[in-house]
Amino acid sequence: MDIRTTIIEHTLILAPKGRLDGHGSGLLQDALAAGMTDTIRFVLFDLTDVSIP
């Protein structure tokens, strides 16, 4: 059985409440400077070539 996996890293911005005003100008830079970011990983399983008996 051949299962191919793809790992996608996504940076999650843990911004203080009220900072997300929809403009996003400088928000990522501010969050990175304050250390309020975390990285989560999505593991996607490609089951297109998997045959189930």
Q: Nearest 5°: phi and psi at 30?
A: -65, -40
Number of neighbours of residue 21 by Cβ within 10 angstroms? 8
Confidence of residue 43 (pLDDT cuts 50, 70, 90): low
* Domain presence at residue 52: no
Rounded CA separation 10/53 (Å): 35
User: What pLDDT score does 36 carry?
Assistant: 63
* Domain presence at residue 30: yes
Are the beta carbons of 3 and 45 closer than 8 angstroms?
yes
* Domain presence at residue 42: yes
Confidence of residue 1 (pLDDT cuts 50, 70, 90): very low
Number of domains within the chain: 1
* Domain presence at residue 41: yes
* Domain presence at residue 8: yes
Q: Give me the domain span that covers residue 38.
A: 4-16+25-46
How confident is the model over 32-45, as a mean pLDDT?
A: 63
* Domain presence at residue 40: yes
